[in-house]
Amino acid sequence: MQQIDAGHAGAVLEIDLTAVRANWRLLADRLGTTACGAVVKADAYGLGAATVVPALVAEGARNFFTAHLDEALALVPLLPGDASLFVLNGLPAGAEADCAAAGILPVLNSLGQVEAYAGLARRLGRALPAVLQVDSGMSRLGLDRGELERIAENRDHLAGLDLRLVMSHLACAERQDHPMNAAQLARFSAACRQLPAAPASLANSSGIFLGPDFHFNLARPGAALYGLAPVAGAANPMRPTVRLLARIIQTRETRAGDAVGYGARWTAPGPRRVATVAVGYADGYLRSLSGQATAFSGDVPVPLVGTVSMDSTTFDVTDAPEAVAGGFLELIGPRQAPDTVATAAGTIGYEILTALGRRYDRRYLTAPQPERCLP
Ligand SMILES: *Cc1c(COP(=O)(O)O)cnc(C)c1O
């Protein structure tokens, strides 16, 4: 990654590792005897896996999930010997030996993947730890009904594998009243009975809040660790973890009728003061936020006006006299959660976090944060 000079950067991204740890702790306490894992795929949802993973290890996490093998390989040196590292997407053909050599556990998602990994185990002459995923209703990854039947009827398919986990994934867990939840729970439980006894895992962040029936032996939270709300329509119990402060690089006074931004999609209704900040859609501040989002100057909300550009965005700061060139506007933060920004953009908080840019001056906070002033 390109080095970012703190003094030159167009924005500061604060990542509160204390809050990430507190969120993991809250989930772990809620899970009781069920182990609490941590999903750190996509660079820990954009926060930075190289920093987030050691913080979670220090808090007690020992089961980490990535999507890709290369994401997992990069984390191996950061983990203690008693930790487990899982690759959710399974393995591309030919990658089995690299996975086994690194001691990483693949999530086997098809009979073909099972056969390839069991074949490697026989060639190596040792049992290989692995995970089986069954499709319980999402139709995305995992053994389908026919493959499950074949393995249930002939367990020789699993010979050579040390089955460490049977898992599945919920499609609608953030909606607690959705009938898919009970249907997937029933189908997953039935699948577990067909397979050799092994620890089981079903719940993502939202699944943890569906109650103990969904907990099984290991939970796989991602989003909630990073502060996203796990239950749709309910108060968010998680602590915010990111704060994006964009530098104001210029301000101007407009007259009535002056156009602002590409496409001249907004025109000033009267004399206004407009601030341009050095963050745009190339930094993950989505273009679909054009005309929809709000930032904060201290406690004063300032509406986004005009179109989000690649490297800059304009806000109406008429009501915020403190917003001057060289100062900062808070684009994401405690007053403006990623979930709120996501709603303005017509997406979900996951996409806001995983899109977070690479041009920011990233500051990792490791002490409890009191309410602070802008930098
Ligand atoms: C991404 C993912 C998770 C984590 O889900 P969150 O909703 O972020 O908690 C868990 N399990 C699987 C299979 C995933 O793909």
Regarding beta strands 272-277 and 242-254, do their DSSP bridges make them parallel or antiparallel, or are they unpaired?
A: antiparallel
What is the reported pLDDT for 2? 60
What is the reported pLDDT for 370? 60
Alpha carbon 260 to its chain's center: 34
Ligand 1 contact, 39 CB (< 6 A): yes
Q: Which atom of ligand 1 is nearest to the CA of 204?
A: 9
Give catalytic status of residue 226 as yes or no: no
Distance CA 7, CA 196 (A): 58
For residue 128, which of 155, 159, 153 has the smallest C-alpha distance? Answer: 159
Distance CA 242, CA 279 (A): 16
What is the reported pLDDT for 89? 98
What is the reported pLDDT for 4? 73
From residue 304, alpha-carbon distances to 5, 29, 230 in Å are 27, 40, 27
Ligand 1 contact, 297 CB (< 6 A): no
Distance CA 289, CA 314 (A): 11
Place of tokens 């390839």: 116
Give catalytic status of residue 41 as yes or no: yes
For residue 345, which of 300, 304, 301 has the smallest C-alpha distance? Answer: 304
**Residue with the nearest Cα to atom 12 of ligand 1?**
169
What is the reported pLDDT for 160? 97
Ligand 1 contact, 220 CB (< 6 A): yes
What is the reported pLDDT for 62? 98
Q: Which atom of ligand 1 is nearest to the CA of 67?
A: 15
- The stretches in the chain having pLDDT less than 50 are 1
Cα–ligand 1 centroid distance for 351 (angstroms):
13
For residue 26, which of 199, 170, 181, 241 has the smallest C-alpha distance? Answer: 241
* pLDDT tens, residue by residue, 209-268: 999 999 999 999 999 999 999 999 999 999 999 999 999 999 999 999 999 999 999 999
* pLDDT tens, residue by residue, 333-371: 999 999 999 999 999 999 999 999 999 999 999 976 665
